[in-house]
């Protein structure tokens, strides 16, 4: 089957114009798309678990309700216990900013003197350090204010309440939706299209579900390493590093750099930064040789730069929904190109 054969007749031109119109409409209603994309993404991730419950003779609707209750309990526990502790760690980090500035400037000054470079950073330190804590707190408050405003504008309370309802109905009719899509494609195209969709679903499901599990494991491992070393705030840096690890290398780079600086500032020695270096190196070795190959298996097959570009492009065009859609689109294009040029 050749997918790229296209005759430039009026019918195809109308199809192209229709696609362009749909993309423009998607851009205009990107906040609504984000709600539906997030809901469908959650349903897509949970569908295998619901199918498993069905094999245990649990009705599909009951299985969905069980999962939603469990997720609600987890979220409530997180709001009651984890979020307040993270707030404490954020404030602790903000109060540490003046010490970080002093340590970094002193280190730079000492290094410059050893290299016979006569540069005075005392003025910068005296001006910046006393104000650094206030700047950090104001920046944090501004960021939280922007986030709150964006959340209010894009995802109001009503829209957030709609997500569980959409997830329920997507999960309830997930198999029926798949059947209808395959039937429509089989009527329109030959049987090869089912093979493309099946391969696409296999790769995508392994990547998304596996990547989220890997991110959670890395967040726990990074947190444990930082707690063992004695660095504060360990939980905040561990969670941020784990979440950002969904983007190739980003979580490792930010977590490692922040931990190294904090280790030096808090302990003023070589041992603790060395422990951070060894800890992160061990976690990366375990992740690259054991965790990712075992859990994710066959990934999207995309180069890390392609993954980053797809995420940034999707987010820029359609917000959160665009970021969720971007990787599936990139994966499908990759499958088609591989088939055409094999």
| pLDDT tens digits, one per residue of 39-82 | 887 888 788 888 888 888 888 888 888 888 888 888 888 778 88
- The string of pLDDT tens digits covering residues 135-175 is 555 565 655 554 454 445 445 556 667 878 888 888 888 77
Let me know if residue 95 belongs to a domain: yes
Place of tokens 């003025």: 123
Q: Are 224 and 239 in contact (CB under 8 A)?
A: no
Helices H, strands E: what count in the chain?
13, 0
Tokens 């298996």 belong to residue: 297
8 Å CB contact between 118 and 112: yes
Q: Is the pLDDT of residue 196 over 50?
A: yes
Query: What domain count does the chain have?
Result: 1
Angle at CA 294, nearest 5°, toward 289 and 298? 100
> How far apart (Å, rounded) are the C-alpha atoms in residues 95 and 91?
6
Q: Considering the domain boundaries, does residue 97 fall inside one?
A: yes
Tokens of 330: 């990139």
In a domain, 307, yes or no: no
Question: Looking at residue 150, what is its pLDDT?
Answer: 46
259 and 226 Cβ atoms separated by less than 8 Å: yes
Q: pLDDT at position 20, please?
A: 76
d(CA 149, CA 171): 31
C-alpha 234/C-alpha 229 separation (Å) is 9
Q: How far apart are CA 152 and CA 159, in angstroms?
A: 10
240, two tokens: 């941020």
Per-residue pLDDT band at 4 (split at 50, 70, 90): very low
Whether the pLDDT of residue 218 is over 70: the answer is yes
Asked whether residue 278 is domain-assigned, the answer is no
Q: Is the pTM of this model over 0.95?
A: no
- Domain membership of residue 334 (yes or no) is no
DSSP assignments along 130-160, one per residue: HHHHHHHHHHHHHHHHHHHHHHHHHS-HHHH
Contacts of 128 (CB under 8 A, 6+ apart): 101, 105
* Helix, strand, coil percentages in the chain from 3-state DSSP, rounded to 5: 85, 0, 15
DSSP state of 116: T
Q: Give me 19's structure tokens.
A: 């696609």
pLDDT of 92 reads 82
Does 65 fall in a domain?
Answer: yes
Alpha carbons within 13 angstroms on the beta-carbon side of residue 192 total 9
* 277 within some domain: no
If pLDDT is split at 50, 70 and 90, which confidence band does 227 have? very high
Residues near 1 by beta carbon (within 8 Å), at least 6 away in sequence: 189, 190, 192, 193
Per-residue pLDDT of 292-322, as tens digits, reads 777 765 555 666 677 777 777 777 776 666 6
**In 3D, which of 252, 256, 236 has the Cα closest to residue 304?**
252
The closest alpha carbon to 314, from 300, 298, 331, belongs to 331
Q: Are 218 and 241 in contact (CB under 8 A)?
A: yes
DSSP annotation of 188: H
Compute the residue count for the chain.
Answer: 342
Share of the chain above pLDDT 70, in %: 63
Domain contains 26: no
Its domain, for residue 73, covers 39-174
């Amino acid at each position: 089957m050749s997918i790229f054969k296209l005759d430039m007749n009026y019918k195809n031109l109308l199809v192209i114009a229709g696609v362009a119109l749909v993309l423009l409409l998607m851009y205009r209603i990107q906040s609504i798309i984000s709600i539906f994309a997030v809901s469908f993404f959650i349903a897509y991730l949970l569908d295998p678990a619901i199918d498993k419950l069905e094999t245990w003779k649990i009705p599909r609707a009951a299985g969905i309700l069980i999962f939603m209750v469990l997720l609600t309990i987890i979220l409530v526990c997180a709001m009651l216990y984890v979020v307040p502790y993270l707030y404490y760690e954020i404030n602790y980090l903000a109060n540490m900013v003046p010490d970080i500035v002093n340590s970094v400037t002193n280190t730079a000054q000492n290094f410059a003197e050893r290299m016979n470079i006569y540069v005075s950073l005392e003025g910068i330190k005296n001006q910046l350090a006393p104000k650094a804590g206030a700047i950090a707190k104001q920046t944090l408050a501004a960021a939280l204010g922007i986030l709150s405003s964006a959340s209010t504008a894009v995802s109001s309370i009503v829209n957030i309440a709609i997500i569980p309802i959409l997830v329920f109905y997507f999960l309830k009719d997930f198999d029926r939706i798949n059947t209808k899509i395959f039937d429509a494609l089989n009527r329109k195209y030959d049987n090869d299209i089912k093979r493309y969709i099946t391969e696409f679903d296999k790769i995508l499901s392994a990547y998304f579900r596996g990547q989220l599990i890997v991110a959670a494991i890395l967040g726990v491992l990074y947190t444990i390493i930082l707690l063992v070393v004695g660095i504060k705030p360990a939980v905040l840096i561990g969670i941020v590093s784990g979440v950002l690890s969904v983007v190739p290398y980003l979580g490792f780079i930010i977590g490692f750099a922040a931990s190294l600086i904090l280790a030096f500032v808090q302990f003023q020695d070589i041992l603790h930064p060395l422990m951070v270096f060894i800890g992160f190196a061990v976690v990366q070795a375990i992740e690259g040789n054991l965790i990712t190959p075992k859990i994710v298996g066959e990934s999207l097959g995309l180069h890390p730069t392609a993954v980053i570009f797809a995420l940034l492009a999707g987010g820029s065009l359609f917000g959160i929904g665009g970021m969720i859609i971007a990787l599936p689109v990139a994966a499908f294009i990759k499958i088609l190109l591989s088939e055409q040029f094999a």
